[in-house]
């Protein structure tokens, strides 16, 4: 097991630095709550909006983040509806951990088109120096499609406004990949 090299570890290293002073954070796919907990621990001033379409995922996240519940909105809805819940505010950071709930049904996964539309929506709400972290799993069919489509789509982002980085493990087959988007200051 790597200590700093895999995409999840790299995303956490980048997030740790960028969320320190954040005030609004989105966990677009809270799942078992691991990322929500990480964000709550590393962003002491932030309010966090945690989305998932599965009740079990929301329950797992609530249980995992009890200590921080006064700073978290748990939302059982698709991330595509983000604008229903966030009014007139900029977003400092958003995380996506795509695919299926590890402990749940593998047939309920994120969807490439919905993910791309939500990334576009959040991108337009990003504060200066705001970031979006997207972890994806090209080892399963839906994940491979998301990887390909996001790779092509994010290439088109205006580089005067956004910087888009990609990270993967070059000599591992189908390892998780990270897309990192930063808005200029």
CB 23 within 8 A of CB 29: no
Distance of closest approach, residue 62 Cβ to ligand SAH, in angstroms: 13
Q: Is 32 in the site for ligand SAH (CB under 6 A)?
A: yes
CB 6 within 8 A of CB 169: yes
Binding mask 76-115 for ligand SAH (x = CB under 6 A): --xxx----------------x-xxx------x-x---x-
Q: Among 7, 18, 31, 143, which residue sits at the site for ligand SAH (rule: CB under 6 A)? A: 31
Distance of closest approach, residue 128 Cβ to ligand SAH, in angstroms: 26
Q: Is 52 in the site for ligand SAH (CB under 6 A)?
A: yes
- Distance set, CA 151 to CA 32, 136, 148, 154, 181 (Å): 26, 11, 5, 6, 12
72-76 and 91-97: which strand pairing?
A: unpaired
Q: Is 146 in the site for ligand SAH (CB under 6 A)?
A: no
Within 8 A by CB and 6+ apart from 167, the residues are 7, 10, 177, 178, 180
Which CB sits closer to ligand SAH, 56 or 129? 56
CB 131 within 8 A of CB 140: no
Which residues sit at the interface with ligand SAH, rule CB under 6 A?
Answer: 29-35, 51-54, 57, 78-80, 97, 99-101, 108, 110, 114
């Amino acid at each position: 097991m790597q200590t700093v090299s895999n995409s999840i570890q790299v995303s956490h290293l980048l997030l740790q630095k960028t969320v320190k002073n954040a005030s609004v954070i989105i966990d677009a796919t809270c799942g078992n709550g691991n990322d929500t907990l990480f964000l709550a621990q590393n962003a002491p001033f932030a309010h966090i909006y945690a989305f998932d379409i599965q009740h079990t995922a929301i329950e797992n996240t609530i249980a995992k983040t009890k200590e921080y519940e006064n700073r978290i909105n748990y939302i059982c809805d698709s991330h595509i509806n983000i604008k229903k819940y966030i009014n007139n505010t900029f977003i400092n950071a958003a995380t996506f951990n795509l695919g299926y709930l590890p402990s749940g049904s593998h047939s309920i996964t994120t969807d490439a088109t919905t993910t791309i539309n939500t990334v576009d929506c959040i991108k337009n709400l990003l504060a200066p120096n705001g970031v979006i972290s997207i972890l994806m799993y090209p080892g399963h069919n839906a994940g491979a499609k998301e990887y390909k489509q996001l790779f092509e789509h994010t290439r088109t982002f205006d580089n005067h406004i956004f910087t888009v980085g990609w990270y993967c493990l070059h000599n591992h087959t189908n390892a998780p990949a990270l897309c990192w988007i930063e808005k200029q200051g």
